[in-house]
Chains A and B, each alone.
Chain A
Amino acid sequence: AQSVTQPDIHITVSEGASLELRCNYSYGATPYLFWYVQSPGQGLQLLLKYFSGDTLVQGIKGFEAEFKRSQSSFNLRKPSVHWSDAAEYFCAVGSGTYKYIFGTGTRLKVLA
């Protein structure tokens, strides 16, 4: 069955520290992979996406993600977290259609 797992429900980091959010997927076909961020009461904003090619993808707001096929993972990273990064982050997987499967999200808290 197709699925996306974000094992960390909550993560707390100090401002300026590095961040890694984990995402594992199970998908039969070659996946399209996405990371989205959601602020309270808002819709989701696309941070980055991977379809093919270079497995290290750069996104907006200083985020990057690395696709590792052997580990079925697409982890999101940021070298130095800012207080404004506090939000909920969603990993998603799809194919050539628009029926995406989203993970359950990781809520990030940033300590000043």
Chain B
Amino acid sequence: KAGVTQTPRYLIKTRGQQVTLSCSPISGHRSVSWYQQTPGQGLQFLFEYFSETQRNKGNFPGRFSGRQFSNSRSEMNVSTLELGDSALYLCASSGRDYGYTFGSGTRLTVV
């Protein structure tokens, strides 16, 4: 079956702009989580969605938001981009077994 698909793979944005990242989970998976990965902070949990509802949230400012659609696809949005938002953003989906399947990520560079 198809894996977790994240689009786009690479993105370059300017400070102050906003960005939307997309994630299509494995078919049948209803939970979608987002993580930010940076060399300095490692992997940090952003939020998790289940059946279109945010179930868990990490310690990120309100500029980071997300949503999930009825087909379980998810988007995350970052507004007013800062240089420090440059990172690999990873999406992961999960079924009933609690083990994540990760996508390949979106590499965001803010200049």
A interface list, Cβ under 8 A from B: 32, 34, 36, 41-46, 49, 51, 90, 94, 96-105
Contact = CB atoms under 8 A, between A and B. Distances in A.
A101 B94 CA distance: 16
B58 A99 contact: yes
A87 to B, nearest CB: 14
A99 B102 contact: no
A20 B6 CA distance: 32
B42 A97 contact: no
Contact of A43 (B4, B45, B56, B58): B4
Size category of the binding interface on chain B: 20 to 34
Given A43-B104, A102-B42, 17 more contacts: A32-B98, A43-B92, A46-B99, A49-B97, A49-B98, A94-B98, A96-B98, A97-B55, A98-B31, A98-B55, A98-B94, A98-B98, A98-B100, A99-B45, A102-B43, A104-B42, A105-B42
Nearest to B97: A49
Contacts, number: 59
B51 to A, nearest CB: 13
A43 B103 contact: yes
7 contacts: A44-B90, A49-B97, A49-B98, A98-B31, A98-B94, A99-B58, A103-B42
B48 interface: yes
A51 B100 CA distance: 14
